[in-house]
Structure 1
Amino acid sequence: MSFREDNEDGKDLKKPFLHTGSWYRMGMGSRQSSILEKLGSSAQVIRDNSVSVVVCVLIVALGPIQFGFTGGYSSPTQAEIISDLGLSISEFSIFGSLSNVGAMVGAIASGQISEYIGRKGSLMIASIPNIIGWLAISFAHDSSFLYMGRLLEGFGVGVISYTVPVYIAEIAPQNLRGSLGSVNQLSVTVGIMLAYLLGIFVNWRVLAILGILPCTILIPALFFIPESPRWLAKMGMMDDFEASLQVLRGFDTDISSEVNEIKRSVASSTRRTAIRFSDLKQRRYWYPLTIGIGLLVLQQASGINGVLFYSTTIFESAGVSSSNVATCGLGAIQVIATGITTWFSDKAGRRLLLIISSSGMTASLLLVAISFFIKDSISEGTHLYSVMAILALVGIVTFVVSFSLGIGAIPWVIMSEIMPVSIKGLAGSVATLCNWLTSWVITMTANLLLNWSSGGTFAIYTVVSTFTLVFVALWVPETKGRTLEEIQWSFR
């Protein structure tokens, strides 16, 4: 029995949903004119763009922009929401961290949703709770609506955080996969910066309304891009798979070699219909799973979300008078640094950037910790106090830059590259869940830890960044310039 026959039931089950975007239904036995006739007008939009993969990446990048906007929202709005609704610091900390709780639920569901209805379908589903969540926050008159809205946003963000990097990795050619994959984190930083910037000019209710825009644009835009060819192949829809890949690579490109490689990989992964937990003891499973989970946990354990969510409070502690402006500047710096990562990811390599990034984070966090310890032990208004405040500010900015140069973007790229096809849904969900669980712990404790001791808080983050450097140096392989199939076969 052939692979196509093995998957016939799955194929029939998925087709009604998939063909919502029916423009990529086409037979690959004919040439370009026949393909275009079957594709329809929406495919013509992609065909006329010589960089169709980039167009697809930019469209799905609206999801991470929503992700970043959700993360950045709490920083410029903290004082205003507390004042308007009479919340305590602890209640606002709960509000800030609930997006992570929702994201954990979304992360658990993301792998199965993405495997069952496809990458595009899961992004459409993720957009709906995001929109409802922002509306709930904008019309909130007490903490209950705030909490409900934040949880709904979090669920959508949890699905987005898994699906977007996987989709990008599966559509990108190997020589551009690192750079295009880094667009995911670049978009997150753009979303954070937009929340910071707009938060200076509009109140928290209007800012919540503006948060609806990315997903409102994303839903119709998804109808104009192809589904992941690797997912289509896994579902047994071979005509759609080859058609999608042809659109992504261009009509004049010979895709036969890539088609055969993907078919071999998918056929191998479907020989066993279910993966038992005992199977994860095999090196080809436990090694990539350990790397993926380890990088995504250490990314959050460094304290980045604590710094970004409560950057206004941190800058006030450092003695910066215009803390909102400084926070906005921090967001802009993060966008620039992540843009550099996007440019160098396929040139310098993932591993080198991770080592540089974690080294810079360790040094800068140590500087911030020492500065706060000294500042808290001397009288305010002295020259040394001012110097320590400046050093703390420099350290925080350097930390965010260092994070953005590698640890911010590359763990998501590597996770989407190294997970074997047969366990990608399960393993990706687990890795994303661990990331959001760690993020929740950091976000929930950051405000409380900063009230306890700013120096002690950053000392804890310094230890974590040091461990991250060791983990990368000893465990993480280089994936630059290799196809997904080559990477996954190497773990065998």
Structure 2
Amino acid sequence: MSPILKQLFVAASPQLAAISAGGLIGFPSVLLQQFKSNESSIHVDVHSASWIASIHGLAGIPSLFIPYIMQHRGRKFGFHTCCLLVILGWTIIYFARTAATIIVGESFQGLGAKSLLVVSYLTISEMVHPKYRNILMLFYSINQTLGVTLVHALGRFLHWKMISAIMMVPVVVAFLLSCTWPESPAWLALKGRLEECKKSFLWLRGTDDDAISEMNEILNSYTSHVKEKPKKFKEVAREFWTSITSKDFYLPSLYMFVLLSVYYCSGNLVFLVYAMNMIENVTKDENSAFIGMIVMDCVTLLGNSVAYVFFKRYNNKPILLCSGIGSAVFLLASSIVSYLQYLEVVREDSLLCLYFLVGFMIASSLGIYTTPYVMSAEIIPVRYRGIGGSLMVIIICASYSFTLKIAPYLVLYLKLYGTFLLYTLMLSLCLFWVWWYVPETKNKTLQCIEGSYVKRVPVIEPASQLPNLNVRLVLIEKPQDSNEVVHTIVPNEVIENLLEHKESIT
């Protein structure tokens, strides 16, 4: 099997799990719609309905420990934990007979799914070639959107119990496939397991010059940070404080917060979960609202698929900025039309606002749905991915719950046009920060990305981006009592000549 097929095999598990993760995002709208029926054995009040819609975010907060545990036990362990929690959640919902039991099942889903996204992105970023990394992360978003669309469509024809059984299948298959993975080479190097790191890396990436060069870079970058595990609480606390006050932690953490805010502060999640209600508020017709919801899901899925072309040809930041600017323009237009409807200048049942909302979903699906998560996963340094991944989970869960909980109150007090305008302003501020400060990450190794905001290790581009020189990157010296690593570029002929004479090369 060729290296690219092996990398695709590893990435297949997160892609399958993403379908189930997307399904649980769209599942609450199906539950609430079917519980309205007189034939349903479960009926909910407004209080229970609000918990069914938003519990995923709050329940996901304790999963902040999963990335931290993953940093100590390995990427496979973290992925397995997330999958098992999602499977348990779907199982509880399938056998549920009360609204309270459904909320318990959704709690397990949220606990697993919120870390699943983080664990999957971090795993793909470490185990896949930089050239394919962005595309495979994009497919995670596509499959997640596919899960949302499937659940919304099936909810019109199948009972919610049958839907829960169907959505359990992809994550079960993902778990079984992941049992055959190798461990992440970067994590193995970070733990000082150098021989296992080399074996895993060569299995995943092959033995060409570019792969060998990157493997040397991984070994050189992370082995200098291998330390004995502190045994005393004071040492643990001191190490933790040193980590969170280090520039190469708090700076990418700030970037990560702003990137994720591009998605959540633009109202995209609100449109996914409350799509039926918001469209019905605009069109004043339930059938039109259902058709509009399916159209918006399909448009989002199509937009994520078309985004593949842009990700292949352009860098991450331009894609995110263009997608964000387009989204802001359509949001502003929706706000204006909604305000004109409020003033009765435009008819109350006009579909003009719906058209602008569809345009907003198209623009967002071309970049905002994926790029913030991709760049967030890439800019976290490998040695801080335990606490960094936990922070990412906290941001995602808090943003998820906050935006969904506050959305009905925004519409109540600011009206629909005020809510759209607020989303436009917040999105614009986040985009400006990204444009001015956040570094580009596409086609760069994780070491190159880290070097762009912390001058700890020289930034050396992969061999594929250097001129056509027959050279390799070699670690020739590590000064004592220093964190600096000295590299040099050595011609391949020199290395081969030394190997023939059995010289020792690090």
The bucket for the TM-score relative to the shorter chain is 0.7 to 0.9
Alignment of 1:172-321 (within 5 A): 172-250=128-206, 255-270=211-226, 275-319=239-283, 320=285, 321=287
Aligned to 1:489: 451
Q: Deviations over 1:98-151 (max 9, x none)?
A: 011122221x11221211222222121112221221222233232210110110
Q: How far 1:238 moved relative to its partner?
A: 2.3
For 2:430 and 2:356, the matched residues in 1 are separated by: 18
Task: Tell me the CA shift for residue 346 of structure 1.
Answer: 4.4
2:452 maps to amino acid: S
User: 1:58: Cα distance to partner?
Assistant: 2.2
CA-CA distance at 1:50 after TM superposition: 5.1
SS at the partner of 2:74?
helix
Q: How many angstroms does 1:330 deviate by?
A: 1.4
TM-score of the aligned structures, taking structure 1 as reference length: 0.84
- Change over 3 Å in CA distance of 1:346–1:202 after alignment to 2: same
Paired residue type of 1:392? C
CA distance, structure 2, for counterparts of residue 271 and residue 307 of structure 1:
47
Offset of residue 183 of structure 1: 2.0
Find out whether 1:62 has 2:16 as its counterpart. yes
Aligned to 1:149: 105
Contact residue 293 and residue 435 of structure 1 kept, 8 A: no
Match of 2:497 in 1: none
Please report the TM-score for the alignment, with normalisation by the length of structure 2: 0.82
- What is the DSSP-based 3-state SS (H/G/I as helix, E as strand, rest coil) of the residue aligned with 2:142? helix
Note closer, same or farther for the CA distance 1:269–1:200 as it changes in structure 2 (3 Å cut): farther
**Distance between the aligned counterparts of 1:395 and 1:265, measured in 2?**
48
Tell me by how many angstroms 1:272 deviates: 8.6
Name 1:408's counterpart in structure 2: 369
Deviates more, 1:243-252 or 1:291-300: 243-252
Matched, 1:442 2:396: no
The answer on whether the counterparts of 2:258 and 2:434 sit within 8 Å (CA) in structure 1 is: no
Q: Deviations over 1:431-452 (max 9, x none)?
A: 2211220111111222444455
- Whether contact under 8 Å (1:136, 1:145) holds in the other structure is yes
Q: 1:50 to 1:415 in 2, by over 3 A?
A: closer
**Code of the aligned partner of 2:221:** S
Q: Residue 343 of structure 2 corresponds to which residue in structure 1?
A: 377
TM-superposition CA deviations, 1:265-296 (whole Å, max 9, x none): 11233359664335434432221111012211
**Residues 214, 400 of structure 1: alpha-carbon distance in 2 compared, 3 angstrom cutoff:** same
Partner SS, residue 255 of structure 1: helix
Contact 1:296–1:432, Cα closer than 8 Å, also in 2: no
Q: Quick one: structure 1 residues 254 and 460, their matched pair in 2 at CA, closer, same or farther if it must change by over 3 Å?
A: closer
Q: State how 1:450-489 maps to structure 2 within 5 Å.
A: 450-452=411-413, 453-489=415-451
Preserved contact between residue 298 and residue 468 of structure 1 (Cα < 8 Å)? yes
Give 5+ residue unaligned stretches, structure 2: 230-235, 455-506
Residue 307 of structure 1 and its aligned partner are, at CA, apart by 0.7
Structure 2 equivalent of residue 4 of structure 1:
none
* Shift in Å, 1:420: 1.4
**Contact kept? 1:200, 1:324, Cα under 8 Å:** no
Q: CA deviation at 1:169?
A: 0.5
Alignment of 1:21-100 (within 5 A): 47=1, 51-83=5-37, 84=40, 85-100=42-57
* Superposed CA offset, 1:64-119 (max 9, x none): 2222111111223322124432212332121111011122221x112212112222
1: CA distance, partners of 2:409 / 2:165: 29
**Contact 2:70 2:78 (C-alpha < 8 Å) held by counterparts:** yes
Alpha-carbon distance in structure 2 between the residues aligned to 1:138 and 1:374 = 45
Q: Quote how far apart the aligned CAs of 1:344 are.
A: 2.3
The 8 Å contact of residues 95 and 150 in structure 1, kept in 2 or not, is answered as yes
SS of the counterpart of 2:440?
Answer: coil
Query: Counterpart of 2:444 in 1: which secondary structure?
Result: coil
Corresponding residue number in structure 2 for 1:397: 358
Q: 1:367 to 1:76 in 2, by over 3 A?
A: farther
- Work out the CA distance in 2 between the residues paired with 1:271 and 1:232: 13
Equivalent position SS for 1:486 = helix
CA distance in structure 1 between the partners assigned to 2:259 and 2:36 by the alignment: 35
Deviations 1:188-212 (A, max 9, x none): 2121111122222212222222221
Structure 1 stretches of 5 or more lacking a match?
Answer: 1-46
Check conservation: 2:89, 2:107, Cα contact below 8 A: yes
Contact 1:354 1:406 survives alignment (8 Å): yes
Output the aligned Cα RMSD: 2.2
Rounded Cα–Cα distance in structure 2 between residues aligned with 1:491 and 1:304: 30
Pick from 79, 86, 89 the counterpart of residue 130 of structure 1.
Answer: 86
Q: 1:376 to 1:79 in 2, by over 3 A?
A: farther
Following the alignment from structure 1 to structure 2, what is the Cα–Cα distance between the partners of residues 434 and 300? 10
Give the Cα–Cα distance (whole angstroms) in 2 for the partners of residues 54 and 473 of structure 1. Answer: 32
- Cα distance in 2, alignment partners of residues 158 and 86 from structure 1: 28
1:324 aligns with 2:290: yes
- Distance in 1, matches of 2:217 and 2:329, equals 44
C-alpha deviation, 1:325, in angstroms: 2.8
- For residues 350-380 of structure 1, what are the alpha-carbon distances to aligned partners after superposition, in whole Å with 9 as ceiling and x for unaligned? 110111111112111112222222223329x
* Range with bigger deviation, 423-432 or 236-245: 236-245
Amino acid at match of 2:9: V
CA contact (8 A) 2:68 2:385 kept: no
**Residues 271 and 150 from structure 1, CA distance in 2 versus in 1: closer, same or farther, beyond 3 angstroms?**
same
Deviates more, 1:413-422 or 1:131-140: 131-140
Q: Which moved more, 1:363-372 or 1:336-345?
A: 336-345
Which residue does the alignment assign to 1:12?
A: none
Q: 1:288 & 1:183 partners in 2: Cα distance?
A: 24
- Quote the residue 1:32 is aligned against: none
Structure 2 SS opposite 1:443: helix
State which structure, 1 or 2, has the greater radius of gyration over its C-alpha atoms: 2
